[in-house]
Copies of this chain bind each other. A is one copy, B any other.
Amino acid sequence: MAQSSTNYRIDGKRLWDTLMAMAAFGATPKGGVNRVTLTEVDRQGRAQFSEWCAQAGLTLRRDTMGNMFARRAGRDNTRPPVLFGSHLDSQPTGGKFDGALGVIAGLEVMRTLDDLGIVTEAPLELINWTDEEGSRFGRAMMGSAVWSGVHPEATIKSLRDAEGISVAEALATIGAAGTEPAARYPADAYFELHIEQGPILEREEKTIGIVTGAQGQIWFDATLLGRDSHAGTTPPDARRDALAGAAEIILLVESIMREQGESGRGTVGRLTVHPNSPNVVPGEIRFGAEFRHPDDAVIEAIATRFPREATAVAIARGLDLAITPVFRVAATPFDPACIALVRDACDRLGYPARKMVSGAGHDAVHVANVVPTAMIFTPCKDGLSHNEAESITDAEAEAGTQVLLDVVLARANRPA
């Protein structure tokens, strides 16, 4: 028996209050959140989340990666569950909404169903994935990667943080791991509500982003070698200035990005100068460059073009460039039926919406490999994220959660 959610409203005030209550765990003086994965603060946040789940009558399971699954029974519990959620961990100087919105919105969906006395046909499971941010152990979307079979559990568990603590040790220290295997199980669909972390929705005054997939990405690590020399005594034509060469390559990255129009992404975010002395012509620059695009063919072209053109810059300046692709992920299209549910919900609810491709990595990108998946984006102020000033309005949170309720109900109640 299919149900339209149009008449079912989530409780926007309860949603917001719960978001703010979660934001208290790791709250920073500047209004952000420092709730890095598998820390004591993360443990406290997880404990609070567990308590809320218990109060909502949900059955909580934890797998060996610390991923949390809060189940609400359906009318037919032989049906695979409809999954939804996100992550409660944050960047060290993160905001209140990146991740937390999707988890707390999922909790609000569960609470609304209780308020209304609704039992869905398929069971529902709300998920908090372990370590989406990757800021501590250097690998993002860790919990969902293991669950989806993208990375072996043993490999992930042996990653260590800057203090030498492994993932396995950190899980044990805060008692986050459960006994369920960290592995995919049959599921009907996965939906994730998340802030956009970009400026497009705000700029176009859209309430909802209908996320059709994730961009392809290629990341390079590079070292550019010239020769340290005295800034006062080395004439122009005797210089092998690695920083001047890097400057040309930075502008090359920008130029390749701009050629792709609005969908182009090309960034040098990390760069270090050696010896980094004011009066020494720099002899060594290490930097990272990354490109993203929804079309894998574009990424494929950049994979050969960028190293070739960067090397030409180096050669023309008598520099040596070592450049290696260190990460490559194919563009991930989401499930057409799941995407259609998000679009239909926006139509029914009358929310201005646009289709878009996620530029960021999300747990949904891993899950999409093994479960039909879609994502729902809400705007965020100035497109700002991974920043303590990250901000959304209560109306934006409410609209996104309303769409989540709508698609969860539609999917869970579709004919078996």
Give the complex CA separation of A30 and B382 in angstroms: 52
- Of the residues B250, B269, B360, contact of A277 by C-beta under 8 Å: B269
Q: Are A386 and B280 in contact (CB under 8 A)?
A: yes
Of A157-165, A241-249, A366-374, A406-414, the one with at least 4 CB within 8 A of chain B = A241-249
Give the complex CA separation of A328 and B196 in angstroms: 48
Q: Are B268 and A243 in contact (CB under 8 A)?
A: yes
Contacts A269-B281, A270-B278, A278-B290 hold; do A198 and B243 have CB atoms under 8 A apart?
A: no
A318 CB–B CB distance under 8 Å: no
A272 CB–B CB distance under 8 Å: yes
Bits for A282-297, please: 1 = Cβ < 8 Å to B, else 0.
Answer: 1000001010100000
Most-contacted residue by chain B among A258, A279, A383 (CB, 10 A): A279
Q: Main secondary structure on chain A at its contact with chain B?
A: mixed
- Of the residues B196, B203, B237, contact of A233 by C-beta under 8 Å: B196
Copies in the complex: 2
Tell me the residues in window 196-239 of chain A with beta carbons closer than 8 Å to chain B beta carbons: 196-200, 203, 215, 217, 219, 227-238
Residue of B nearest to A385 (CB): B230
A267 CB–B CB distance under 8 Å: yes
Q: Are B385 and A199 in contact (CB under 8 A)?
A: no
Contacts A243-B250, A276-B270 hold; do A257 and B229 have CB atoms under 8 A apart?
A: no
Q: How far is the CB of A193 from chain B (nearest CB, A)?
A: 16
Q: How far is the CB of A55 from chain B (nearest CB, A)?
A: 34
- Of the residues B203, B271, B281, B359, contact of A232 by C-beta under 8 Å: B359
Count of residues in A whose CB is under 8 Å from the partner chain: 64
On chain B, the residues within 8 Å of A237 by CB distance are 262
On chain B, the residues within 8 Å of A263 by CB distance are 235
Q: How far is the CB of A330 from chain B (nearest CB, A)?
A: 15
Q: How far is the CB of A416 from chain B (nearest CB, A)?
A: 37
Q: Are A269 and B265 in contact (CB under 8 A)?
A: no
Q: Contact residues of A with B, CB < 8 Å?
A: 196-200, 203, 215, 217, 219, 227-238, 241, 243-244, 246-248, 250-251, 254, 257-258, 261-265, 267-273, 276-282, 288, 290, 292, 358-361, 382-387
28 A-B pairs whose Cβ atoms sit less than 8 Å apart in the complex: A196-B233, A197-B230, A198-B232, A198-B234, A198-B238, A200-B233, A200-B238, A215-B232, A230-B386, A231-B359, A232-B265, A232-B361, A233-B358, A234-B265, A235-B262, A236-B258, A243-B268, A244-B268, A247-B248, A247-B251, A247-B254, A251-B251, A269-B273, A269-B279, A269-B280, A272-B276, A278-B290, A280-B386
